[in-house]
Structure formats: structure tokens, C-alpha cells
Amino acid sequence: MRPIEFYFDFSSSYGYLGSTRIDGIAANYGRQVVWKPILLGAALKVTGLPPLPAVPLKGDYSRRDFARSARYYGVPYKQPSVFPIATQAPARAFYWLDAQDRPKAKRLAAALYEAYFTRDVNISNPADTIAIAASMGVDAAALEAALNDPAVKDKLKSEVEQGIARGVFGSPFVFVDDEPFWGVDRFDQIERWLREGGF
């Protein structure tokens, strides 16, 4: 069976919440998950929509809902002081490591999300992303070079374009056998889809 694809942006609160749950849900049904960080801003450009925090009424509600949803799922959460952020550095770090060691790349993603959404570390800074990776035993100099490697930049660009071509417009965005699910609030539907093979 094909792996489940989990698209997310490192600056997305709901992506963070989803990242803590997707592999566990998939494992219950014997499925693997491929993680694919993207740049949500590029997808939003296609939709013509502004970033959520900037929308009148909806932005205020969302900040309340981020924290409440985190409590609902039992996930630690602290609203970052700079939000949203550009996420090229963490996304490139992820794809570079993913090509070498897939499980370790997921652990790095989890550590980056945890730093941004519970300790207010601004992971848009390459230095912060590198420090977090280094604390996991990643070669800091090699990663620093990778963040400016045209091949790594192209990999991220290509994943963003492929995601948009498949209809990704938000985070998290999950494909189960080509069926698209947007939002951590669709994970209940994902579970049923996996259990019943569609519904």
C-alpha cells in the first residue's frame, strides 16, 4: 500500500497539532506516512486568500482555537510571539536530512515544531534550525551548507509545486490513496477512511 502523505507548513499551528497524531493513526492501520513540508504562502497565493491571522474576526477566533484545540488533543502549545514565519530554513533542513535518514528527519521536524510552538524559538532563523538539528547529532556545518545548496532549494520548490498541483491549499493536508483531507479536524474522517477503505 502507498504511504499516506502528510503536507504541512512549519509555521502552521494546526500542522503542528496534526504532526503529533498522524503517524500513530496510520500505524493503527499498518500504514506508513511520508512527511512533506511546504511553504503555505505559495499555496495561499494561488487561492488569493490572506494568511489566517490577518483576517478580521477569523484571525482572533483562530488564535483562541489554536490553544483550545491543543488542549483538546492534549498537546503542549504556546502561541509564538512572531507568527506566522517564513519556513524555508526548517523545510530545507528537513528534505536534506530526509534524503539520508527518513525517521531522523521526522524527529527533526518534531523538534523544530516543538521549539517554535512551545518555546517560542523562531525557527525561520537558519541558526536556530541548525542548533536544534545539531542537538540531535546532525553535522551543523553540513546542514548550513545544505540550506544554501541549489539542489536542496529546488527540492523544496518542487514539493511545493507538486502539492499545489494536487490541490494542497492549507496545512495540514493529507492524502490517503488520493483522497484529500484538509485540517487536523479531518483526522477522524481519515481514521474512518483507513478502517473502512473509504466511506
195 near a copy of itself (CB under 8 A) = no
Cis peptide bond upstream of 90, omega within 30:
no
Size of the site for a copy of itself (CB under 8 A): 32
Residue pair 50/122 in contact by the 8 Å Cβ criterion: no
**Residue 8, beta-bridge partner list:** 37
77 near a copy of itself (CB under 8 A) = no
Residue 52: how many other CB atoms lie within 10 Å:
21
Residue 117: how many other CB atoms lie within 10 Å:
27
- Give the nearer residue to a copy of itself in terms of CB position, either 58 or 102: 58
Q: Is 148 helix (H, G, I), strand (E, B) or coil?
A: coil
Least spacing, CB of residue 41 vs a copy of itself, in Å: 14
Residue pair 94/35 in contact by the 8 Å Cβ criterion: yes
Least spacing, CB of residue 113 vs a copy of itself, in Å: 22
Cell of 55: 483576517
Nearest to 186 by CA among 165, 172, 198, 196: 172
120 near a copy of itself (CB under 8 A) = no
182 near a copy of itself (CB under 8 A) = yes
Cell of 110: 518534531
Using CB under 8 A, which of 43, 132, 160, 194 touches a copy of itself? 43
Using CB under 8 A, which of 24, 48, 103, 150 touches a copy of itself? 48
Least spacing, CB of residue 169 vs a copy of itself, in Å: 4
51 near a copy of itself (CB under 8 A) = no
Using CB under 8 A, which of 3, 50, 51, 197 touches a copy of itself? 50
118 near a copy of itself (CB under 8 A) = no
Residue pair 140/134 in contact by the 8 Å Cβ criterion: yes
Binding residues for a copy of itself, rule: CB under 8 A, are 43, 46-50, 55-58, 60-61, 64-65, 68-69, 71-72, 164, 167-170, 180, 182-183, 185-186, 188-189, 192, 199
